[in-house]
Amino acid sequence: MKIIQSFWTGNKNSLTDSYGWLLPIFNYLSWIISCNQLRRYYDDVTLVTDSQGYDVLINKLHLPYTDVIVSLDCLNHYNPNLWALAKIKAYQSIKEPFIHVDGDVFIWTKIDESLKNHDLIVQNEETTTDYYGKMWRDIRHAISYMPEEMKRYDLHIDNKAYNMGIFGGTDIDFIQRYTYKAFDFVDKNIKMVNKLQGTNFNIFFEQVLLYEMVLSEGKTTGCFIHENIGDNQYHDFANFDEVPDKRKYLHLLGFYKKQLQVCKKMESFVIRYYPEYYQRLERLFALPEIFTASDYEYTTECTSLLEQDYMRKLVLGKVQLPKNTSVLMREVTSLGKSWELQQLLSTNTIFYIMRTTDFHLEDDRIIVKGLRNSELSFPALRIDKIIFEAVGRACERKVFEIKALTYLDESFPDSEKQNYIKVLWKRIFLLVDIGVMLPVTKQEYDRILLKQ
């Protein structure tokens, strides 16, 4: 199955525009993961882009696409807020069975199995709530023409759409009809839509129109995610800590792109698994090279050594390192540790919990230092003081629980003590998630001590 992706720069400066992300650099971190993860499972991955997109993704970042079609400059007369037109133009350019994957979608499994005997494949079916309803009401007055199929949605007969994080299929004739109808929908309303800036219109000429056409023509659709999801209820679709063990698919939809913690996890993932691309990204944005400053090379072997070295220093209590080096070590080492903690707790494995580095408590906040002098701030709770004091530098699980119980008043009911311990571990899970604590098995802890 041919896999395609599309990137339209929208005739904007591709290094200063964030394309919906918190910062421009996060846009390209996303492309690095998306393309490389696809190439782990597919031999044929084609990029459809414009000339500026080709220069960045291919000439500068050297993403491993097997083919590139430079055809999206023809869209430059459209408002760049109509970003879904690039996807639809890409669908239109492919005349064989394909699956299009958005640049903010990351896979850890093959996705074409969901197509099987269906005409089409989508990510999932959506139920449109008032979240989409308000968008439609805001733009409805500007719509003078709509395809016949859209009238059921307009009259509130239907309230469904398809999320098209992935989309494609074998019914190329239908897909072609859909693309031409989508362009017609836009073009016949273009003057008024441009005045509205066009942003919210994408959902309707892409996702809702597809659903209504599928319904009208009786096509069969395979959903990669077999769950009907509310249009603003995409929970855990950006959980990097749970891949690949629990999750095989992430989709960093709009609101995730603005969350600094999500973006930093994505950055840590690229540093750990695709360090050579991270170096190219640093050079693209003229940033200091963090690996070079830390005496490491940009290889997966070095990132593995970096993690091992950091864990060793934490266990031995020898973490006097230059700030940038220790932050780099912590960011990479922390990835996936919250999931590991869940597994350790559920299996009653003996383990230690340890404090990390480069964070401090400030009044009612936990301030965590990040790469390149960034900071993340999280609310601090009263129980955090108990946790940090009981853990100290490092503490074995059962010992920690015994210490934590000593903070309770004598009047605290015995029947509630186990719930109290559960609350502490639930909080520690969040502290691990933000990188200020790490679990380590007793086996690994003892191994490090024996090797010193």
For 44-56, how does the pLDDT look when each residue is reduced to its tens digit (9 = 90+)? 999 999 999 999 9
Q: Judge whether residue 110 has pLDDT over 60.
A: yes
H helical segments located in 245-362: 260-273, 275-284, 290-293, 300-316, 323-334, 337-346
User: Residue 321's pLDDT is what?
Assistant: 76
First to last CA, the chain: 52
pLDDT band at 199 (very low <50, low <70, confident <90, very high): low
Contact between residue 285 and residue 15 where contact means Cβ atoms under 8 Å apart: yes
Measured CA to CA, the distance from residue 111 to residue 38 in angstroms comes to 10
Short-list 121, 123, 98, CA closest to 46: 98
Structure tokens at 274: 């695709």
Split at pLDDT 50, 70, 90, the class of 373 is confident
- Region 66-78 average pLDDT: 97
Nearest alpha-carbon partner for 253 in 106, 112, 80: 106
| Contact status, residue 347 vs residue 319, Cβ threshold 8 Å | no
pTM score: 0.95
Residue 377 CA to its chain's centroid (Å): 20
Cα→Cα distances 206→22, 49, 124, 225, 424, Å = 24, 18, 14, 19, 46
Q: Which residues pair with 3 in a beta bridge?
A: 45, 99
Residue 205 Ramachandran class (φ > 0 left, ψ -120 to 50 alpha, else beta): alpha
Min mean pLDDT across 218-227, 301-310, 318-327 is at 318-327
> Environment class of residue 195 by beta-carbon count within 10 Å: exposed (0-12), middle (13-18) or buried (19+)?
exposed
Q: Is the pLDDT of residue 269 over 60?
A: yes
pLDDT at 295 over 90: no
Residue 310 has a CB neighbour count (10 Å cut-off) of 24
> Which tokens is 52 given?
């500026």
- Residue % of the chain over a pLDDT of 70: 98
pLDDT digits (tens, 9 = 90+) for 316-344: 998 777 767 889 999 999 999 999 999 99
Q: Assess whether pLDDT exceeds 60 at residue 256.
A: yes
- Least Cα distance to 271 among 329, 320, 356, 339 occurs for 329
The predicted pLDDT at position 236 comes to 86
- How many other C-beta atoms can be found within 10 angstroms of the C-beta atom of residue 269? 23
